[in-house]
Structure 1
Amino acid sequence: MKHIYDNDGEKLFSVRKDGTVADKHNKKVVGKIDGDKIIDNDGKIMYKMSARNKLVDDNGEEIGHIRENNFIYAGVLAALAVIITLVCVFSFVESALLIIIGVLLFELIIFIHELGHFMTAKASGVKVNEFALGMGPRILRFKKGETIYSLRLLPIGGFCAMEGEDEESDNPRAFGKAACWKRIIIVVAGAVMNIVLGFILMMITLMPNSQFASTTISKFHENATTSASLKVGDEIVSINGYRVYTSQDLSFSLVTANQNSDGEFAPEIVVRRNGETVNLGNVKFGSREVDGKKAIVLDFYVAPIQNNFWNLIAETGKGVVSTVRLVWASLFGLITGRFGFNELAGPIGMTSAISQVASAGLQSSFGDAVMNIVSVMMMITVNLGVVNLLPLPALDGGRLVFLIIELIRRKPVSAKYEGWVHAIGMIVLLAFMALISFSDILRLFTGTGLGG
């Protein structure tokens, strides 16, 4: 739905699909759009419109504008689902605190993302009309300089509205008037900030640990199957071609290993042994039944890495890079069919995972529950940063593609055609999100999602 705003960003009227104009308070129809005019119910002119949906007075001076509310953020459904699920899962006092922490962390992820767009837009000289945290009606608002800063009722989103971002504008400081390389920086800044936040959250989760896990074998379980090929002191280099830098890489590559024709787990492993790289070929692992499925058994321990300042920085950096690689590997697995649709989780499935890790943490202490949530949020913010840069319409990555084309052609793609592409992309994205959400709900009730 489109809305009519004054120059201060205050909403005056709503414009319905049939072209009628309704009062923002009582929702009664007060007029309609007639060509380049907005007339009231008596046929008198209320406002005149320019070709760019700007409201002008008799002298042609801009007094407001019409804008479509299309600020849809990937975290909206996830945050709402987190609130609902956590209320049902935890005891009143602890759940209330965990809900607040979860919501604040979600808003922090959104705030950091939009802050990246905001800071780079300001630094590039692009006019920012409004910077908002939350969605829905405003509860706090102030204007500093040319920008309106607002806090909105629903803590499930946010936006950075730049002049001329989604429409033509003659303002010399409009987004479309900025140099192409500046617009590229503005577009990618949100995702970069999400990954920076991931680095900080990763460090927070690692700081309490006295030791970190390495990828070097220190000892084996009794009667370990892998001891026939692996040796103490072996440093795992790769598993089935997936490069192993961290214990997370090690876990991911083993968990995603497939069974061979004999129904055994025997991934190809490369190690560094006595300073030399050795390909051990297919190393047989043991297995056990988990929920009716065969799962690989890790039957060795890895050597610890002592926690000090430099090791903390190194492990944090490697952890973030590992998470980014995990996201890309998972996406590639979905495209190639290695992972099924049943293994894809959306906002509701993510909420279920958060509630599970929080519940597991509560069994030991409230602090552990918080740290578990922070760990999941780290995964979410890095995931958001990576996925948002995918070259898909309606995402920042989609905008980036058009900007790169403009940089190469030295001429922008028609705003009309770009708008169509993003609109179609948004419809597809929302349909995909709805399908995943349905699969998540199905999984909650039946144990398996679509394709399971």
Structure 2
Amino acid sequence: MIFLMTILKILAALFIFGIIIMVHEWGHFLVAKWMKVRVNEFAIGMGPKLISWGKGETQYSLRLFPIGGFCAMEGEDDGAPTPAAMGGNADRSEEEHAGDSAGESGSFAEKPVWRRVLIVVAGATMNLVLGFLVLLCTFAFCQKKADNGKVYFNSTTIAELPETSPAYETGLRVGDTVLRVNGKRIATDMDLSMLMQSDEDGVLSMVVRRDGEKLTLPAVQFRLATDEETGTRYLIYDFKVQGVERNVWTTVKQAGKMEYSMTVMVWRSLGDLLSGRYGLNDLSGPVGTVDYIGDAVSQAVSLDGWRTLLTMIALITINVGVFNLLPLPALDGGRLLFLIIEGVTRKRIPAKYEGIVHFIGLLLLFALMIVVTFSDIRKLITG
């Protein structure tokens, strides 16, 4: 029974991860079609094909390794191997090429820069849209009701604060809306909580709005405690925040603010990775992601469980969108960088060299994926 539940958990997680990837590639696909670019293959997964079928001018496939996907467009990577070519069976016949000459060219490379930019950013845009919709569902349907039967969202406005607390004595007051902590913008209570948790000395610089005016509180103090098991020091929260009653507008607003917070959190995490604060062992690849999703799926039998699952799905899809916009070879952001250079200089970098750069980047990404996957497996084995 335990084995069966584990299999079902993995399948459910793979399905959810597949949906996130499909939505990303679907964004490229829809805008490519809108811009009259021929899409040779729409694939979920990488590596050898498991199943494939053709409809119209496009071949659709599900591939063995659930580590991404691709939307192979005509003329996208002239002069270099593509993910489709690496997986095999993505070539077009001479008759199909000849068919393009009868009308408007379906080549990505022959479209104006602005059209190619729209196609390239469409995948990440769809991820961000999906993230917003998932968060909207989370705040609309997966929130606990208060004793009066209403639902309230946490704000960043102080509702209760003992006058004997260090925070009160160093300037914080009831009614203050926290705008920044240690120079970083606060949009949600999640931002406030995470920045306070990451503090080590119990002293925070805050910018608050009080009676319509912005005030800077340079050294707001909080009590510190020590975890007996880990020895980690952490701040003691001695305040409560106000609740905002749920309605259509506040639900939409809360979803938008949370998406902003998650997007900023992803960028900050990437910055911490580059600065050395986090190492490769702190990363999670497809195996780790599927494991996290699977655990959340297994707990989705209560309101709290569903809220956790949907929040995780939103964070992952936003992560996929943001990561793909990084200006790195083989990623959408790398392609966007080449298009920006072309738009500014009015001269395109030869497709042969651009394709080689993206291909090398793809190999490096695969190498990183292998390293992270082994790290994920080691974590699963060692617990």
The bucket for the TM-score relative to the shorter chain is 0.7 to 0.9
Q: Distance in 1 between matches of 2:375 and 2:186?
A: 32
- Structure 1 segment 8-407 matched on structure 2, within 5 A: 91=2, 95=6, 98-134=9-45, 136-139=48-51, 141-144=53-56, 146-151=57-62, 157-167=68-78, 171=100, 172-208=105-141, 209=143, 210-220=151-161, 224-229=165-170, 230-257=172-199, 259=200, 264-290=201-227, 291-355=230-294, 357=296, 361=299, 365-366=301-302, 368-407=304-343
1:321-379 residue CA offsets vs partner (Å, 9 max, x unmatched)? 111111112222333344455544434444454455556x46xx355434422211110
Contact 2:52–2:59 (8 Å) recurs in 1:
no
Residues 200, 94 of structure 1: CA spacing in aligned structure 2 closer, same or farther, 3 A cutoff? farther
TM-score normalised by the chain length of structure 2? 0.81
2:358 equivalent to 1:417: no
Q: What 5-or-longer segments of structure 1 have no aligned partner?
A: 1-89, 448-452
Aligned residues: 349
The structure in which a higher percent of residues are helix is 2
Partner letter of residue 106 of structure 2? R
Percent identical across equivalent pairs?
44
Partner letter of residue 400 of structure 1? L
TM-score normalised by the chain length of structure 1? 0.70
Q: Distance in 1 between matches of 2:335 and 2:304?
A: 40
Q: SS in structure 1 opposite 2:55?
A: strand
Q: Distance in 1 between matches of 2:290 and 2:51?
A: 27
Residues 312, 426 of structure 1: CA spacing in aligned structure 2 closer, same or farther, 3 A cutoff? same
Shift of 1:184: 1.0
Contact 1:265–1:286 (8 Å) recurs in 2:
yes
Contact 2:134–2:311 (8 Å) recurs in 1:
yes
Contact 1:102–1:373 (8 Å) recurs in 2:
no
Shift of 1:310: 0.6
- Per mean C-alpha deviation after superposition, the further-off stretch among 310-319 and 229-238 is 229-238
Q: Distance in 2 between matches of 1:91 and 1:425?
A: 41
Query: Which residue does 1:11 correspond to in 2?
Result: none
Q: Distance in 2 between matches of 1:154 and 1:442?
A: 19
- Per mean C-alpha deviation after superposition, the further-off stretch among 243-252 and 377-386 is 243-252
Q: Distance in 2 between matches of 1:123 and 1:427?
A: 31
Q: Distance in 2 between matches of 1:421 and 1:153?
A: 25
Q: What 5-or-longer segments of structure 2 have no aligned partner?
A: 80-96, 144-150
Q: Distance in 2 between matches of 1:428 and 1:234?
A: 48
Partner letter of residue 412 of structure 1? R
Aligned-residue CA RMSD in angstroms? 2.8
Larger radius of gyration: 1
Query: Which residue does 1:430 correspond to in 2?
Result: 366
- Per mean C-alpha deviation after superposition, the further-off stretch among 306-315 and 369-378 is 369-378
Residues 329, 427 of structure 1: CA spacing in aligned structure 2 closer, same or farther, 3 A cutoff? same
Q: Distance in 2 between matches of 1:92 and 1:206?
A: 34
Q: SS in structure 2 opposite 1:231?
A: coil
Partner letter of residue 117 of structure 2? I
Contact 1:285–1:298 (8 Å) recurs in 2:
yes
Partner letter of residue 126 of structure 2? M
Query: Which residue does 2:93 correspond to in 1?
Result: none
Q: Distance in 2 between matches of 1:274 and 1:242?
A: 22
Residues 393, 154 of structure 1: CA spacing in aligned structure 2 closer, same or farther, 3 A cutoff? closer
Q: SS in structure 1 opposite 2:158?
A: strand
The structure in which a higher percent of residues are strand is 1
Q: Distance in 2 between matches of 1:124 and 1:99?
A: 37
